[in-house]
Amino acid sequence: MNDYVSCGGSVFRCWRQSAKVLYNKGMIFEPGDIFVVAVAILLSMGFHEAMHAFTAHWLGDSTAKEQGRLTLNPLKHIDVVTTVLLPVILILLGLPPIFAAKPVPFNPALVKYDEFGAALIGIAGPLTNLFLAIIAALFLRGVNLSETLAHVYLIFIAVNVGFFVFNMIPFPPLDGSRLLYAFAPEPVQRIMYQIESMGFMTVLLFLMLLIPVISPVIDYVYRHIIILLLG
């Protein structure tokens, strides 16, 4: 993302140029961005998971709060295997790094509004990431930041838009599946429940097999959200 720093000292030119780069290249980071990307991921993950827990608590289920998950502290949401070891192993194997936070627990029997309550819990996380991206974009567009700081904001925006788009894929147990489940007919709900019961490895297999097929759609949505925020 070194392209983002040649903005000529103008905040207007900076975010307009950055929008074009993100649109043309997608979410591609340079090796030197690794620390900023890691911090952005941890912060975004903390907000994402905390909002799942907060929404569940607001809807009547205190399970997540009792387990210490109603917090912005990202360390409380890290799973050693899926958050740390999995992406490292995939990188060593030359594959795209994929990670997942520790799932936020909730009891559907205690949540108001049945499937619709569960859907609210599910979409609360990715919608929070979209909100963070919007706030960061508004700040970037309205404040004359240094090029270095603008670059950090752009990484934060890119990470949060990526969180939003990926997590809204309606495939169990990704967050978007909760929304689909609330409106799907019962036969489809049964199939989705069976898939979700297979756990994270199913999602990993799905990603490896189907992401190449659906990546043009994901990429299209990602790029157009970026251009809408920054262009």
Task: Please tell me the distance from the alpha carbon of residue 23 to that of residue 212, in angstroms, as a whole number.
Answer: 19
Give the whole-number percent of the chain exceeding pLDDT 70: 81
Q: Is the pLDDT of residue 161 over 90?
A: yes
Helix runs in 85-184, H state only: 86-92, 114-142, 147-167, 176-183
Q: How confident is the model at residue 1 (pLDDT cuts 50, 70, 90)?
A: very low
Q: How confident is the model at residue 76 (pLDDT cuts 50, 70, 90)?
A: very high
pLDDT mean over 131-138: 96
Q: Residue 161's CB: how many other CB atoms inside 10 A?
A: 27
Q: Residue 93's CB: how many other CB atoms inside 10 A?
A: 7
Phi/psi region, residue 114 (left: phi>0; alpha: psi -120 to 50; beta: rest), is left
Task: Please tell me the distance from the alpha carbon of residue 147 to that of residue 46, in angstroms, as a whole number.
Answer: 26
Q: What is the DSSP letter of 26?
A: -
Q: Is the pLDDT of residue 130 over 70?
A: yes
Q: How confident is the model at residue 45 (pLDDT cuts 50, 70, 90)?
A: very high
Q: Is the pLDDT of residue 8 over 60?
A: no
Amino acid 116: pLDDT:
95
Q: What is the mean pLDDT of the chain?
A: 83
Amino acid 122: pLDDT:
96
Amino acid 65: pLDDT:
95
Angle at 172 between CA 41 and CA 159, to 5 degrees: 15
Amino acid 24: pLDDT:
54
pLDDT mean over 106-133: 95
Phi, psi for residue 12 in degrees, rounded to 5: -65, -50
- Give the end-to-end CA distance of the chain in Å, rounded to a whole number: 17
Q: Which residues are catalytic?
A: 49
Secondary structure class of 32 (helix, strand, coil): helix
